[in-house]
Copies of this chain bind each other. A is one copy, B any other.
Amino acid sequence: MNENLSADRPSFVTHLECSMTGERYEADKLHGLSKVGRPLLVRYDLEAIGKAVSRDEIAARPTDLWRWRELLPVRHTKDIVSLGEIETPLVPIPASGGANVLVKDEGRLPTGSFKARGLVMAVSMAKELGVTKIAMPTNGNAGAALAAYASRCGIETIVLCPEDTPEINVREIALQGARVWRVNGLIDDCGAIVGKGAAEGRWFDFSTLKEPYRIEGKKTMGLELAAQFGWELPDAIFYPTGGGTGLIGMWKAFDELEKLGWIGSKRPRMYAVQASGCAPIVKAYDDGVEHADRWENSHTVAAGIRVPKAVGDFLILRAVRESGGKAIAVDDDAILKAVDDTARQDGLLLCPEGGATLAAYRAALADGLVSESETAVLFNCATGLKYPMPEATNWLDRHGEVDFDRL
């Protein structure tokens, strides 16, 4: 029924290259990081894509992630492991944000978060390349997405998460067929164990940016924005930044779209949003350096962006700087207030990381970095339903006299 999942469409991947050195790597083979320990980027024959398909043809296809097939790495339609990756809506938040503030509500994706974009691509490629066992560190949502897609196509998965990962995430991962372990540490501690096992050949390492295809999945956020805004990009993007795959991916998408001639040279200013309790990218940005030091004693209510050290730090910083944006840290009180305001005033329940983007937008507005007349997109990376909400208990006795004036 959905032709995107049944039609044979050509793939245009030519090779992969090291994001640091530009060294070339062969396509259609399993890869982790490059020889210098940095992420690999997938490269396409953009000229051939431009001849094969137009942006209008893509716009006319069913509205899901797979309509971008020519710009994605999966070669064979049969290898697509789909759970219904719809295009996520842009929801205005006029009361809590402003007249030109739109939330890209990524909580509508499978497993309730934008991690589905990266993992649907990475798992489909793993299937295509014959992987049978995967391990991954996660703060919660990525593990849930991996478990869902991998179970769906029969790949065995082991997921390691920090000890204080919310119960709902751990249960969801297990229920969706992965083996999940709590580790007394943070996500990079989990990552170290995954890396050690991978080095011993026990499994394939699915850490953010350590395999090359999650970034291609996250890239679709940028492709969708271009289509949703009529092939003109918004003025500013506020993106909750942990590993930063999405920010890097969108920046790559805009570059590919411009080379295709589907958008012009206008770029949004990219604002990388972190929590003040874990802000390595903000510190590196402020210090004017290219790489970020590990952030010690990380803490924030926005667990999804509690990433002390990102392997793609230089790519995040490069995109932020090239765009004329900034890295911004916000504290937990501002995050929680933003979540509360948006729910109460606009009826939209953000996750804490989504709340962080509104808090950062408010700070940027106060600092004159953005104006109210500019169009700003905030990324709500997961459904707010996965996170704790304040207590609320009123009791009404139906057997007694109901005091209607009290209701």
**Residues of A participating in the B interface, judged by any CB pair closer than 8 Å:** 1-2, 60, 62-64, 82-91, 95, 105, 108-112, 135, 147-152, 158, 160, 163, 168, 170-177, 179-185, 189-190, 192-193, 196-197, 200, 202, 228-230, 340, 343-349, 383, 385-386, 389-399, 402, 404, 407
Contact = CB atoms under 8 A, between A and B. Distances in A.
Contacts of A160: 396
A176 B398 contact: no
A105 B91 contact: no
A86 B85 CA distance: 12
A393 B182 contact: yes
The count of identical subunits is 2
B83 A175 contact: no
A176 B349 contact: yes
A197 to B, nearest CB: 5
A111 B1 contact: no
Contacts of A171: 389-392
A401 to B, nearest CB: 11
The winner among A85, A110, A112, A396 for most chain B CB atoms within 10 A is A396
Contacts of A181: 394-396, 407
Contacts of A90: 1-2, 84
A91 B83 contact: yes
A117 to B, nearest CB: 14
A397 B193 CA distance: 10
A228 B224 CA distance: 21
Contacts of A89: 2, 64, 84-86
A52 B395 CA distance: 51
A175 B347 contact: no
Contacts of A91: 82-84
B183 A396 contact: yes
A152 B349 contact: no
A346 B152 contact: yes
The winner among A197, A383, A390, A397 for most chain B CB atoms within 10 A is A383
Contact of A184 (B173, B346, B397): B397
Given A89-B86, A200-B404, A402-B196, A177 B345 contact: yes
A347 B148 CA distance: 4
Given A64-B89, A183-B398, A383-B383, 14 more contacts: A84-B88, A86-B89, A148-B348, A152-B345, A152-B346, A152-B347, A152-B348, A160-B396, A170-B393, A171-B392, A175-B340, A175-B343, A181-B394, A192-B398
Nearest to A345: B151
Nearest to A173: B392
Nearest to A82: B91
B193 A396 contact: yes
